[in-house]
Structure 1
Amino acid sequence: MDKVMSNKGIIALYVLPALLLVLALIYMPIVLTGYYGLMKWDGVSPMTFIGLENYKNLIQDELFWNSVKHSFLLAVFSTLSLGLYLLVALVLSGQIRGANTFRKIYLIPMLLSSVAIAQLWLKIFHPTNGVLNHTLSALGFENTPAWLADPSIVLYAIFIPVLWQYAGFYILIYYAALKNVPTSLVEAARIDGAGPWRIAFSIRVPLIMEVIKVTIVLAVVGSLKYFDLIYVMTGGGPNGASEVMASYMYRKAFSGYDFGYASAIGFFLLLICLVVTWLIRKATATKDNIQYS
Structure 2
Amino acid sequence: MNKVMSNKFIIGLYVIPALLLIMILIYIPIVLTGYYGLMKWDGIGQMTFIGLDNYTKLLSDQQFWKSTLHSFLLALFSALSLVGYLAVSLVLAAKIKGANLLRKIYLIPMLLSSVAIAQLWLKIYHPSNGLLNSFLISIGIDNPPAWLAEPHLVLGAIFVPIIWQYAGFYILIYYAALKNIPDSVIEAAKIDGASPWQIAYKIKLPLIAGVIKVTIVLAIVGSLKYFDLIYVMTGGGPNGASEVIASYMYKQAFASYNFGYGSAIGFALLLFCLLVTLLIRKLTATDEEIQY
Same structural fold, with TM-score higher than 0.5 when normalized by the shorter chain: yes
The residue that corresponds to 1:24 in the other structure is: 24
Hey, what's the Cα distance between the residues in 2 that align with 1:95 and 1:291? 24
Partner of residue 180, structure 1: 180
SS of aligned partner of 1:219: helix
Alignment of 1:217-256 (within 5 A): 217-256=217-256
Q: Give RMSD over aligned pairs.
A: 0.6
The corresponding residue for 2:283 is 283
Does residue 120 (structure 1) correspond to residue 123 (structure 2)? The answer is no
1:72 maps onto 2:66 in alignment = no
Tell me the residue number matched to 2:258.
258
Runs of at least 4 residues of structure 1 off by over 6 A?
none
Distance 1:18 1:211 in 2: 26
How many Å apart are 1:138 and its aligned residue? 1.0
Instruction: Provide the rounded CA distance (Å) in 2 between the counterparts of 1:218 and 1:2.
Output: 37
**CA offsets, 1:133-170, max 9 Å, x none?**
01111111122010000000100000000000000000
Instruction: Give me the whole-angstrom Cα distance separating, in 1, the residues matched to 2:179 and 2:267.
Output: 40
**Aligned residue type for 1:201:** Y
Which position in structure 1 is the counterpart of 2:203? 203
| Partner residue in 2 for 1:171 | 171
In the other structure, the counterpart of 2:191 is 191
Distance in 2 (CA, whole Å) between partners of 1:11 and 1:91 is: 46
C-alpha distance in 1, partners of 2:47/2:153? 41
Q: Structure 1, residues 93-134: CA drift from partner, whole Å, max 9, x if none?
A: 012111010000000000000000000000000000100001
CA distance in 2, matches of 1:206, 1:133: 43
Letter paired with 1:127:
P
Q: CA deviation at 1:174?
A: 0.1
Where structure 2 has 5 or more consecutive residues not aligned to the other structure, the ranges are none
Q: Distance in 1 between matches of 2:80 and 2:208?
A: 17
| Superposition deviation, residue 182 in structure 1 | 1.2
Q: So what's the TM-score if we normalise by structure 2?
A: 0.99
User: What secondary structure sits across from 2:107 in the alignment?
Assistant: helix
Q: Which residue of 2 aligns with 1:52?
A: 52
Query: What is the CA-CA distance between 1:290 and the residue it aligns to?
Result: 1.1
- 1:192 to partner: Cα distance: 1.8
Aligned pair count reads 292
Following superposition, the deviation at residue 239 of structure 1 comes to 0.2
- Per-residue deviation, residues 204-260 of structure 1 (Å, max 9, x unmatched): 111101100000000000000000000000000000000000000000011110000
Q: Percent identity, please.
A: 73
What is the aligned partner in structure 2 of residue 214 from structure 1?
Answer: 214
Alignment-mate amino acid for residue 83 of structure 1: V
- Please give the TM-score of this superposition, normalised by the length of structure 1: 0.99
